[in-house]
């Protein structure tokens, strides 16, 4: 039986977080995490190329079996939403190019899976990531969000079992029957 290795991605044009975990039965083990940063003085095509290359390097280095990406939320600023969508597209393209199946999760789904409710603060998510992976300290915020996305996938994401959300609705940030 192979041990699933999951790459979580928190896409951003300026900073894209990544986190790699393994699932050993019910136990999650930390493998790696970090951030891929683009140069905001470069044009959009160069920044997207940086993200694509960075994620491709993470795939080559850590050899994940599957990937989980956070879905874009609609921002107050339409321009920011478009740029985030382009960064997310670059991330998904790199994952698919690397031969990985890609699952997508909303921030609410990630928070629900990691903290237990969908309206958790960023600090609560970071704290639970540290606890669930037995880390000696808190990773950078973007890396913690990426690890949280990988944890959400491991806890019940498409194909892995445990947190079946089909047939449930969301009320007040919680899954209900």
Residue-wise DSSP of 2-19 = PPPEEEEEE--SSEEEEE
Out of 22, 70, 104, 145, the active site residue is 70
* Structural contact between residues 134 and 152, judged by C-beta atoms closer than 8 angstroms: no
Active site residue 40: no
Q: Is 22 a catalytic residue?
A: no
Active site residue 10: yes
- Among 10, 22, 104, 145, the active-site one is 10
Query: How many CB atoms are closer than 10 A to CB 140?
Result: 14
Nearest one of 141, 136, 38, 30 to 90, comparing CA atoms: 38
User: Cα(120)–Cα(107) distance, rounded to whole angstroms?
Assistant: 10
- Considering 65, 104, 123, 142, which one is annotated as catalytic? 142
The single residue listed with the structure tokens 């280095």 is 61
Which sequence positions are flagged as catalytic? 10, 70, 142
């Amino acid at each position: 039986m192979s041990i699933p290795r999951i790459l979580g991605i928190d896409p951003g044009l300026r900073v894209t977080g990544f986190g790699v975990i393994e699932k050993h039965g019910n136990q999650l083990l930390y493998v790696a995490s970090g951030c891929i940063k683009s140069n905001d003085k470069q044009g959009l095509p160069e920044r997207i190329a940086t993200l694509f290359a960075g994620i491709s390097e993470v795939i080559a280095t850590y050899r994940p079996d599957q990937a989980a990406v956070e879905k874009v939320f609609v921002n107050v600023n339409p321009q920011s939403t478009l740029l985030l969508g382009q960064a997310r597209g670059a991330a998904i393209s790199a994952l698919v190019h690397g031969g990985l199946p890609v699952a997508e999760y909303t921030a609410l789904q990630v928070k629900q899976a990691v903290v237990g409710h969908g309206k958790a603060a960023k600090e609560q998510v970071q704290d639970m990531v540290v606890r669930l992976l037995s880390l000696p300290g808190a990773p950078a915020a973007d890396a913690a969000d990426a690890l949280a996305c990988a944890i959400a996938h491991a806890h019940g994401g498409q194909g892995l079992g445990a947190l079946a959300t089909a047939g449930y609705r969301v009320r007040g940030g919680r899954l209900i029957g």
